[in-house]
Chains A and B, each alone.
Chain A
Amino acid sequence: MSVADRPIVSPASGEGAAYPEHHFLNHTSGFLSWALTLDHKRIGLMYLVGVMSSFALGGMFALMIRLHLWNFKDGWLSNQTYNQVFTLHGAIMVFLFIIPSIPAALGNFLLPIMLGTKDVAFPRLNLGSFYLWVTGLVLFLTALSITGLDTGWTFYTPYSIETQKGGAVLAATFGVFVLGFSSIFTGLNFIVTINTMRPPGMTWFRMPLFLWATYATSIIQVLATPVLGITVLLLSAERLLGIGIFDPKLNGDPVTFQHFFWFYSHPAVYIMILPAMGIISELMSVHCHKGIFGYRMIAYSSVAIALFGFLVWGHHMFTSGMADVTTIVFSALTFTVSIPSAIKVFNWLGTMYQGTVSLNTPMLYALAFIFLFTIGGLTGLPLGALALDMHMHDTYFVVAHFHYVMMGGTLVAFLGGLFHWWPKMTGKMFNDNVGMISAAIVFVGFNLTFLPQFVLGTRGMPRRYATYLEEFQDLHRLSTIGSLTLGIGLLVALLVLLHSLFYGRRAPTNPWGGATLEWVCSSPPPHDNFATAPTVGDPYDFNGIEYDAKQGGYVKKA
Chain B
Amino acid sequence: MPFILADKVAPYAWFPEGASSFAPQVDYLFTGILWICILFFVPIVIAMVYFMWAYRERPGYRGSPEALHNTPLEITWTVIPTAIVVWIFWEGAVGYLDMARIPKGTVDVNVTAKKWVWSFKYENGGENSFEKIGTVDYPKLVLPVDQDIKLIMRSEDVLHSFFIPAFRAKRDVVPGRYNYMWFHTTKTGIYDLFCTEYCGDNHSNMNAKVEVVSEEEYKKALEKAVQEPEDPLERGKLLYKRLGCSTCHYAGDEGANGPGPSYNGSWGKSVPLESGESVQFDENYVRESILNPPAKKRKGYGAASPMNSYAGRIKDEQIDALITFMKSLENAPAKTGK
Contacting residues, chain A, for B13 (C-beta < 8 A): 455
Closest A-chain residue to B53, C-beta based?
A: A357
Q: Is B332 an interface residue (CB 8 A)?
A: no
Measured CB to CB, the closest approach of chain A to B53, in angstroms, equals: 9
Contact partner of B64 (CB less than 8 A), chosen from A163, A350, A354, is A354
Contact partner of B93 (CB less than 8 A), chosen from A74, A249, A358, A386, is A386
Q: Is B55 an interface residue (CB 8 A)?
A: yes
- The contact string, 1 if C-beta is below 8 Å from chain A, for chain B 72-111, is 0110011001100110110111111111100000000000
Interface residues of B in 1-47 (CB under 8 A from A): 1, 3-4, 6-10, 13-16, 22, 25-26, 29-30, 33-34, 36-37, 40-41, 44-45, 47
Contacting residues, chain B, for A389 (C-beta < 8 A): 92
Contacting residues, chain A, for B200 (C-beta < 8 A): 83, 150, 159, 163
- The contact string, 1 if C-beta is below 8 Å from chain A, for chain B 133-174, is 000000000000000000000000111010101101111101
Closest A-chain residue to B169, C-beta based?
A: A390
A349 to B67, CA, bound (A): 11
A292 to B67, CA, bound (A): 9
Contact partner of B10 (CB less than 8 A), chosen from A319, A395, A465, A471, is A471
Measured CB to CB, the closest approach of chain A to B133, in angstroms, equals: 10
A158 to B61, CA, bound (A): 64
Q: Contact between A471 and B99 (Cβ–Cβ < 8 Å)?
A: no
Q: Contact between B77 and A342 (Cβ–Cβ < 8 Å)?
A: yes
| Extra inter-chain contacts (9) besides given A319-B171, A388-B95, CB under 8 Å | A289-B57, A290-B63, A342-B81, A349-B47, A353-B55, A355-B51, A357-B57, A371-B48, A388-B29
A79 to B96, CA, bound (A): 34
Q: Contact between A384 and B7 (Cβ–Cβ < 8 Å)?
A: no
Contact partner of B74 (CB less than 8 A), chosen from A255, A297, A356, is A297
A328 to B97, CA, bound (A): 9
Contacting residues, chain B, for A338 (C-beta < 8 A): 81, 85
Question: Can you list 28 A-B contacts (CB < 8 A)?
Answer: A79-B205, A83-B203, A156-B159, A162-B157, A163-B305, A164-B306, A248-B175, A289-B57, A290-B63, A294-B69, A320-B172, A327-B96, A342-B77, A355-B63, A357-B51, A359-B56, A378-B40, A382-B30, A382-B33, A385-B95, A387-B94, A387-B168, A390-B170, A391-B170, A459-B14, A459-B16, A464-B198, A465-B203
Q: Is A324 an interface residue (CB 8 A)?
A: yes
Q: Is A251 an interface residue (CB 8 A)?
A: yes
Contacting residues, chain A, for B89 (C-beta < 8 A): 331-332, 335, 384-385
Contact partner of B22 (CB less than 8 A), chosen from A291, A379, A387, is A387
A354 to B64, CA, bound (A): 6
Contacting residues, chain B, for A251 (C-beta < 8 A): 176
Measured CB to CB, the closest approach of chain A to B101, in angstroms, equals: 8
Q: Contact between A74 and B194 (Cβ–Cβ < 8 Å)?
A: no
Q: Contact between B97 and A468 (Cβ–Cβ < 8 Å)?
A: no
A157 to B18, CA, bound (A): 33
Count of interface residues, chain A, beta-carbon cutoff 8 Å: 98
Closest A-chain residue to B80, C-beta based?
A: A342
Q: Contact between A464 and B65 (Cβ–Cβ < 8 Å)?
A: no
- The contact string, 1 if C-beta is below 8 Å from chain A, for chain B 274-317, is 00000000000000000000000000000111100000000000
Q: Is A346 an interface residue (CB 8 A)?
A: yes
Contacting residues, chain B, for A321 (C-beta < 8 A): 171-172, 174, 177, 179
Q: Is B186 an interface residue (CB 8 A)?
A: no
Residues on A close to B: CB < 8 A?
74, 78-80, 83, 147, 150, 152, 156, 158-159, 162-165, 248-249, 251-255, 288-295, 297, 318-321, 324, 327-328, 331-332, 335, 338-339, 342-343, 345-347, 349-350, 352-359, 367, 370-371, 374-375, 378-379, 381-382, 384-391, 393-395, 452, 455, 458-460, 462-471, 474-475, 478, 542-543
Contacting residues, chain A, for B171 (C-beta < 8 A): 319, 321, 390
Measured CB to CB, the closest approach of chain A to B146, in angstroms, equals: 21
Q: Contact between A288 and B29 (Cβ–Cβ < 8 Å)?
A: no
A464 to B9, CA, bound (A): 21
Q: Tell whether A80 pairs with B259 under 8 Å between CB atoms, given A385-B89, A387-B22, A458-B15.
A: yes
A75 to B188, CA, bound (A): 34
Q: Contact between B176 and A254 (Cβ–Cβ < 8 Å)?
A: yes
Q: Contact between A469 and B69 (Cβ–Cβ < 8 Å)?
A: no
